[in-house]
Structure 1
Amino acid sequence: MKILFLHQNFPAQFNHVAKRLAQNPANQVLAIRQYPAIDFEGVGVIAYQLTRGSSPGIDPLMQNYEAKILRAEAVAKTAYLLKDKGFLPDVIVAHPGWGEALLLKDIWPDAKYLGYFEYFYAASGQDFDFDPEFSQCDAESLAKLRLKNIVNLQALNDMDAGISPTRWQRDTYPEWARSKIDVLHEGIDMDYFSPEAGRSISIPEKGLTLTCDDEIITYAARYLEPVRGFHKFMRALPALLTRRPNAHVIIMGSNEGGYGLPAQGYASYEAMMLDELHALLDPQRVHILGRLPKDIYRNVLTLSKVHVYLTYPFLLSWSMLEVMATGTIVVASDTAPVREIIKDGKNGLLFDFFDADAMVDRIDEALTLSNRKANALRKAARKTIEDKYNFEQCLQTLITKIETLAKH
């Protein structure tokens, strides 16, 4: 079987499936990604390069789409080179979000296309109009949002099948398209993200070493930004630190990039929140550690007594599922993507995204549960991941889907 993966930042979501397929000597696995190329065991990775950026003076409504056309053009040139060398894929697995797959259907018309359908944009009921503090519902923003779905719609036409990591994300797509998309998460490695006590983390610049004997509350996001409720969490900290005088708060995440708008007037949302709250936060108890290496991040999760997760109605973070796999109690915002996974009082605790007092109350509740109740929550959280998001189970289901497509 010949398989081609397409993602600007390969391996990204295709890491495990590409690696597993490449281990089979009967398969030939290639990948196309944006420059630079990378070494990836068993997979031939070819990089495309953009020859220019968006046109100066182009209509603002065209900027986003032109960028995707430029990617599509660069990928098409790379695809023609592969075709000229005799590579004819049986299956192409692509994330269509950046426009890279727009022109491939005519290059390899006999290939089967599997799309990773992550998100379909909407003006209401999702992230766009959720938080009044950072709302941009003017005519131009609405128009740009609608035009973001051009490549989504083209992909729905071109792809033979699709996958989406959660039911809520699948259901952001039009009803007529959902039957084409299977709900299939990439899965969580439960051997790696497992409950382990006795670890510690050092914060040398503060002369601190924290262990599982300390009351540690954690927060993690790929980017520290409003989409992940960073501003809400930070504003809850003064009351939380007062309520829990022995608690330490560890915050993990990057200030570079983000899903939403950049901070206005500040280098980052961290800078914005610290400017607003610095006098109310004890630096010996609030530790913003940035984006950590994976092993240290996992270590912190296993030390945590309570992990706080917030999100707009948007893509669900892997981090919430990873935390649940470690058996740490999750206190999370009562938003639609979260409710798909967490049932309040069963495998975690929920609070209103906009209610800081409720957040503090639920964190305090989690920290004062009886051992019996706390252990029940932890076990139920891990069982949820084992039953529905187990890495091996999800991976094998995806491989079977790719093999089935190749046979038809």
Structure 2
Amino acid sequence: MVKQAGQSMKILFVHQNFPGQYRELFRWFVEQGEHDVVFLTQRQDVPKIKGARIITYKPHHKPPKGTYALTQYWEECVGAGFGAATAAQALDKAGFKPDIVMGHVGWGELTFMKEVWPDVPIIGFFEYYFLARGGSVGFDPEFPASEHAPFIMHARNAVNFANIQTVDLGHSPTQWQRDTFPESFRDKIYVCHDGIRTDKLVPNTTASVPLGRLGRAVTREDEIFTYMARNMEPTRGFHVFMRALPHILEARPNARALIIGGNEVSYGKASDRKGGYRAEMEREVGDRVDWDRVHFLGRVPYEAYQQIIQVSRCHIYLTVPFVLSWSLLESMSMGATIVASDVAPVREAITHGKTGLLVDFFQPEKLAQQVADVLERPGTYAHLGPAARRHVVKTYDFQTVALPVHLKQINTLLPSAKRVALP
């Protein structure tokens, strides 16, 4: 499958939040130095990247507040789709016609691409089918779904139904995510993770994290446990973590919690309390927590995040049944001992007692007991981190596992002269 001499490929990536799930694949194509790589995004603050063109587009339409709930998401998606298609038309007029398009279907950005380039193959990223049952909605009885949720969820899937016809091939990162889609979709969707750079995400026994309030850096010698989510919210089990927190700190008087994440909402309904879910849960656990040993670090640079996981004696990953976070696999790659919620998407990555520990999402006291035991007896659980890393290297590594699969799938849609040499 080696290209003929002088041949290169034109590839267009489309994702509203550059680089999204294409972080590694986009970087790989750029680093080859022989392809014409363009990335279409809504993101405004993207730095210039040598070897690629990053083009910002604006949605053509956004529905006003108060729009009919059953059509609001579709309006947003077709507005984004038409904005992306308009940018694609401008590219076409400037002489750029891609050999292949790769993009996320979830925000509608691919919806009209075939109207611009009818003969250009498209691979769509199918991340999640909106479920009224069996997914994030209605899973936690503390946050019950409305009586209209089944209708709203089904209406939101209009963009998935439109785009399964638009794309030539679909892609989902995990088996569980693919299986959220109807059976009629599945034969068109291949399963392969975006890929984790396990060669860079490694254990580091000399890592340290400076804590200003403490006046020194913490290391592997300290009793550190960690929690991370893009935002501190119920979908990622923040309320469960906070209810476990006083029990962990009481059981382990020298332990410190390092918490990474913003105070917004990525998924689901925002808190109606001032200060968001963080303030809400701080008020709930109140004086039962030794706040001097709790460090909210906010969103941190990627290198700092790695060091935080590398010093962690126990990393907590919580989620309802929803898309799997990169952070789980990255933490496994760095050899973390992980305690995670026992839900289907997590079970796809972690085997209890072999590559991590699973606990009932709804039992914060059991979570606390398990974390406290890991902190007290790290030697007993010392096999989990290395086993987790071996599993991620074997199953989710970008260079040796994901990249060959993605290139093979891309090549199935290209003429022989344009096919990419497999590494």
Q: TM-score range by the shorter chain?
A: over 0.9
The CA deviation at 1:392 is 0.6
Runs (5+) with no aligned partner, structure 1: none
Q: For the Cα contact (< 8 Å) 2:81–2:112, is it kept in 1?
A: yes
TM-score (norm 1): 0.95
- 1:156 aligned onto 2:156: no
The 3 A distance-change label for structure 1 pair 51 and 153 is closer
Q: For the Cα contact (< 8 Å) 2:208–2:220, is it kept in 1?
A: yes
Q: For residues 75-114 of structure 1, what are the structure 2 equivalents within 5 Å?
A: 75-114=84-123
Looking at structure 1, the residues matched to 35 and 41 of structure 2 have their Cα atoms a distance apart, in angstroms, of 20
The CA deviation at 1:233 is 0.6
Letter in structure 1 aligned against 2:265: G
Q: Among 67, 74, 78, which residue is 1:65 paired with?
A: 74
Q: Among 255, 269, 272, which residue is 1:247 paired with?
A: 255
Q: Percent identity?
A: 40
- 1:388 aligned onto 2:395: yes
SS in 2 for 1:197: coil
The CA deviation at 1:383 is 0.6
SS in 1 for 2:309: helix
Q: For residues 69-218 of structure 1, what are the structure 2 equivalents within 5 Å?
A: 69-139=78-148, 141-218=149-226
TM-score (norm 2): 0.92
- 1:360 aligned onto 2:360: no
Looking at structure 2, the residues matched to 266 and 144 of structure 1 have their Cα atoms a distance apart, in angstroms, of 27
Residue by residue over 1:265-293, the C-alpha shift from the partner in whole angstroms, topping out at 9 and shown as x without a partner, is 22311111111122111122111111111
Letter in structure 2 aligned against 1:21: F
Aligned-residue CA RMSD (Å):
1.7
Looking at structure 1, the residues matched to 60 and 363 of structure 2 have their Cα atoms a distance apart, in angstroms, of 48
- 1:348 alignment partner in structure 2: 356
The CA deviation at 1:58 is 3.4
Q: For the Cα contact (< 8 Å) 1:331–1:349, is it kept in 2?
A: yes
Letter in structure 2 aligned against 1:378: G
Q: How many residues align?
A: 406
Looking at structure 2, the residues matched to 219 and 255 of structure 1 have their Cα atoms a distance apart, in angstroms, of 14
The 3 A distance-change label for structure 1 pair 227 and 55 is closer
- 1:281 alignment partner in structure 2: 289
- 2:24 alignment partner in structure 1: 16
Letter in structure 2 aligned against 1:105: K
Q: For the Cα contact (< 8 Å) 1:156–1:177, is it kept in 2?
A: yes
Letter in structure 2 aligned against 1:231: H
- 1:378 alignment partner in structure 2: 385
Letter in structure 2 aligned against 1:382: R
Q: For the Cα contact (< 8 Å) 1:90–1:110, is it kept in 2?
A: no
The CA deviation at 1:104 is 1.0
Q: For the Cα contact (< 8 Å) 2:59–2:81, is it kept in 1?
A: no
The CA deviation at 1:90 is 1.4
Looking at structure 2, the residues matched to 20 and 180 of structure 1 have their Cα atoms a distance apart, in angstroms, of 25
Runs (5+) with no aligned partner, structure 2: 1-8, 417-423
Q: For the Cα contact (< 8 Å) 2:61–2:75, is it kept in 1?
A: no
Q: Among 55, 62, 71, which residue is 1:46 paired with?
A: 55
Looking at structure 1, the residues matched to 102 and 205 of structure 2 have their Cα atoms a distance apart, in angstroms, of 39
Residue by residue over 1:123-143, the C-alpha shift from the partner in whole angstroms, topping out at 9 and shown as x without a partner, is 11111010011122222x332
Looking at structure 2, the residues matched to 395 and 375 of structure 1 have their Cα atoms a distance apart, in angstroms, of 31
Letter in structure 2 aligned against 1:387: K
SS in 2 for 1:313: coil
The 3 A distance-change label for structure 1 pair 300 and 336 is same
Q: For residues 216-227 of structure 1, what are the structure 2 equivalents within 5 Å?
A: 216-227=224-235
The CA deviation at 1:306 is 0.5
- 1:312 aligned onto 2:320: yes
Looking at structure 1, the residues matched to 109 and 248 of structure 2 have their Cα atoms a distance apart, in angstroms, of 46
Looking at structure 2, the residues matched to 405 and 47 of structure 1 have their Cα atoms a distance apart, in angstroms, of 27
- 1:27 alignment partner in structure 2: 35
Looking at structure 2, the residues matched to 243 and 82 of structure 1 have their Cα atoms a distance apart, in angstroms, of 61
Looking at structure 2, the residues matched to 232 and 14 of structure 1 have their Cα atoms a distance apart, in angstroms, of 31
Residue by residue over 1:301-333, the C-alpha shift from the partner in whole angstroms, topping out at 9 and shown as x without a partner, is 010000011100001111111111111100111
- 1:258 alignment partner in structure 2: 266
Q: For the Cα contact (< 8 Å) 1:239–1:360, is it kept in 2?
A: yes
Letter in structure 1 aligned against 2:144: S
Letter in structure 1 aligned against 2:392: I
Letter in structure 2 aligned against 1:137: S
SS in 2 for 1:21: helix
- 1:322 alignment partner in structure 2: 330
